[in-house]
Structure 1
Amino acid sequence: MARELVIDLASPYQTGLTADDYRRVGAKKAIVKISEGTTYTNPDIRLLINRSAEGGVTGFSFYHYGQFHNDNQAVAEAWYFLDQTRKTVNPQPGTLMILDAEIKNMPTSSVIAFLKVLREAGFKTGFYSYLYLLPKFDLDAILQHADFFWLAAYPLGDKPADANPDFHYFPSAPKVDAWQFTPKLLGYNLDGSITVTENANQLLSGPTPVVETTPAPKPQQQQTDSWVDDLGVKWYKETGQFTITDQSGIWLRWGATTQSAKIAALPQGSVIKYDAYCYSGGYVWIRQPRGNGQFAYLPTGREANGKRQDYWGKFE
């Protein structure tokens, strides 16, 4: 099998990486942190996904940093992880969802309770931990409920490492699918892993790999009724709601371009509340505020030379 490089993305550690940085790293797979406990959600999920996708990443999986010490807490955190993942990335069934288990005194029964919630919700499940923590878990019992085992052990410690780990130092543990071998991949503040099974290659590719690479626009601080986002698009402040009348429906996206990642196909009759509009790529777009400071974008009709040509719905 061909081993593949995998990167771990979380805020604020990788938010400064550019698309060119990701191209230099060369990874095609990324595992993105969604949440921690039951109160924290990564505020930069879309930035990390879109910028890494622009830099060549095509497969995305997601993880939760567990803070629980009993089964009830584990179940609550699993549901929080699911809720936040659905709100921010809307994963398809079969997507790999991973528990990051690296705190002390985390019971095996609670790990299993967490994984059961994810599997029953229709997702593939993963378990991540450090080599030195494995004696604290009943690994055989856990792996009966995990489709993917991701193990961390750093032969070079915190020193920079290239993309070719020395397998003479491969951690001795059963059924490892991916080995996280450095926290400083190519000198970046970036955890690097390598797949060691075909199971890992397939699961990390995702059921529907992300191929759109246009990053979602990030508006500048809004001091007036108009502003220009990071893509150079000028936005105008306006509040209202839009009802889709087109029989074919319209794709809601993470950016105001037809290359931006899709969120959902909204059918005729859907109502979208918006707070701004723009002209971009031959269409008139509106911006929908979402939770955790995120926005979604919807084309509402065609435009030419800054003039609307038609309407795909009704404004109120």
Structure 2
Amino acid sequence: MFFKKRFITKLACVAIFSTIGIAAVKAQAPQTVQASTTSVAARSLGIDVASYQSADLSAHARSGAKFAVVKVSEGTGYRNPKASGQVASARRQNMMPMGYHFATFSASTSAAKREANYAIASAKAVGLNPGSYLACDYESGDGNNINMGKNPTANAIIAFMKKVKDAGYKPLLYASSSVLRNNINTNKVVNAFPNSLWVASYAISGRIDNPNFNYFPSMNGVSIWQFTDNWRGLNVDGNINVLPLSSSGNAVSQAPKKNTGKARVLKHNAYVYDKNGKRKKHKVLKKNHSVTVHGKKTIHGKKYYKIGKNKYIKAANLY
């Protein structure tokens, strides 16, 4: 998004080497998945659009986009005039439509609630029904002051997200990795709405066709990664979801039930071990694979995560 194009954190990362002896692992291409207007599998590609993009998303669908996040509103007085067409076009192209609202409430909880009400009304007006994802786009621009303190900012964002959830939508928080780390108490947001982050972080400026997970922004709670502002030369933001998304059923951003675990992504190929620390034969999970962890366990002085019945992986293998 970053339609003001003011800044974006460029991660200066080096290639991550495998812990099981592979010198270097090439970035894996996203999975080829069947398109759907109500759900997308993990590691699907998507776009986000605003009024400066076309209302016709057919070219993006042909290029492989499986979901489209449409700007619906900003503040309490702007509604994207192309949003209805973009949402309808996404559905015609068998893409899952989602929405976002550009926040201008800074760290005011009362203003955040007013903007949430406007975002909800705008989403309904453009054809984005309850049950859909509706993100709070939090960045500098149009009077939004991101330097009001981490806790007040988090409180305002949570107030916005609660309104969105109460209206039947699935709340997300969009921001750059820099803003999430430096301007928001992001842990507080994630505790209230697990797996609700949509984070922007670009490996390089300019065109990127597929995400390189060596540059994945390492933080808890990420569902979607925006990895470029020029996807496949279409001059549109490119995204990939690291967790499955669905506009029906329970929102991924809602608090999980007890003992359901937390989704994490592997940063290395990983062996699977039993409760005694013995490696299971022929059990290797691939880099960038999503696993559900159920707490830590120390085995022979080393930290492991439980990922299933008598199945553990080393903690160092996870983002």
- Aligned counterpart, 2:43: 3
1:155-178 CA deviation, whole Å, 9 max, x = no partner? 112x1111x211111112112111
Does the CA contact (< 8 Å) of 1:115 and 1:145 recur in 2?
A: no
Give runs of aligned pairs for residues 52-201 of structure 1, distance below 5 A. Answer: 52-57=90-95, 59-69=96-106, 70-92=108-130, 94-103=131-140, 104-105=146-147, 107-134=153-180, 135-147=182-194, 148-157=196-205, 159-162=206-209, 164-197=210-243, 201=244
Amino acid at match of 2:166: E
SS of 2:232's equivalent? coil
Q: State the SS of the aligned residue for 1:177.
A: strand
Structure 2 CA distance for partners of 1:2 and 1:99, relative to 1, 3 Å = closer
Amino acid at match of 1:45: A
Which of 202, 223, 246 pairs up with 2:245? 202
Superposition TM-score, scaled by structure 1 size: 0.59
Q: Which amino acid aligns with 2:245?
A: Q
Partner amino acid, structure 2, of 1:142: V
The offset of 1:22, in angstroms, is 2.2
**What letter matches 2:54 in structure 1?**
T
Alignment correspondent of 1:271 = none
Query: What aligned pairs does 1:291-306 form with structure 2 within 5 A after superposition?
Result: none
Query: What letter is aligned with 2:83?
Result: I
Q: Residue 105 of structure 1 aligns to which amino acid in structure 2?
A: N
Matched-pair contact (CA < 8 Å) for 2:57–2:86: no
Of the two, which has the highest radius of gyration? 1
Specify the alignment match of 1:25 in structure 2: 63
Letter in 2 for 1:207: S
**Contact kept in structure 1, 2:51 and 2:82, CA below 8 Å:** yes
Residue type of the alignment partner of 2:121? D
Between the aligned partners of 1:112 and 1:52, the Cα distance in structure 2 is: 28
Letter in 2 for 1:99: C
Superposed displacement of residue 6, structure 1: 1.3
**Residues in 1 aligned to 2:88 and 2:168: alpha-carbon distance in whole angstroms:** 25
Are 2:54 and 1:15 equivalent residues in the alignment? yes
TM superposition shift of 1:16:
6.5
In the TM superposition, what whole-angstrom CA distance separates every residue of 1:30-65 from its partner, at most 9, and x where no partner exists? Answer: 1111000001000001221233333442x1111101
- Gaps (5+ residues) in structure 1? 209-316
CA distance in 2, matches of 1:193, 1:108: 24
Residue 211 of structure 2 aligns to a residue in which SS? Answer: coil
Identity, in percent, stands at 33
Instruction: Give the drift of 1:17.
Output: 5.0
SS in 1 for 2:245: helix
Give the corresponding residue for 1:51. Answer: 89
Cα separation, 2, equivalents of 1:48 and 1:160: 23
Query: Aligned partners of 1:18, 1:171: CA distance in 2, in Å?
Result: 28
5+ residue gaps, structure 2, are 1-40, 141-145, 250-319
Say whether the 8 Å CA contact 2:224–2:239 is kept in structure 1: yes
Judging changes above 3 Å, is the alpha-carbon distance between structure 1 residues 16 and 124 closer, same or farther for their aligned structure 2 residues? closer
Q: 1:3 to 1:31 in 2, by over 3 A?
A: same
In 2 relative to 1, CA 161–174 (structure 1 residues): closer, same or farther, beyond 3 Å?
A: same
| Cα-to-partner distance string for 1:124-168 (whole Å, 9 max, x where unaligned) | 1111110111221111111133352110001112x1111x21111
> Of Structure 1 and Structure 2, which has the larger fraction of its residues in strand?
1
Alignment of 1:33-48 (within 5 A): 33-48=71-86
CA–CA distance in structure 2, aligned partners of residues 18 and 62 of structure 1: 15
Could you tell me whether the CA contact under 8 Å between 1:8 and 1:190 is conserved in 2?
yes
**What's the secondary structure of 1:63's corresponding residue?**
strand
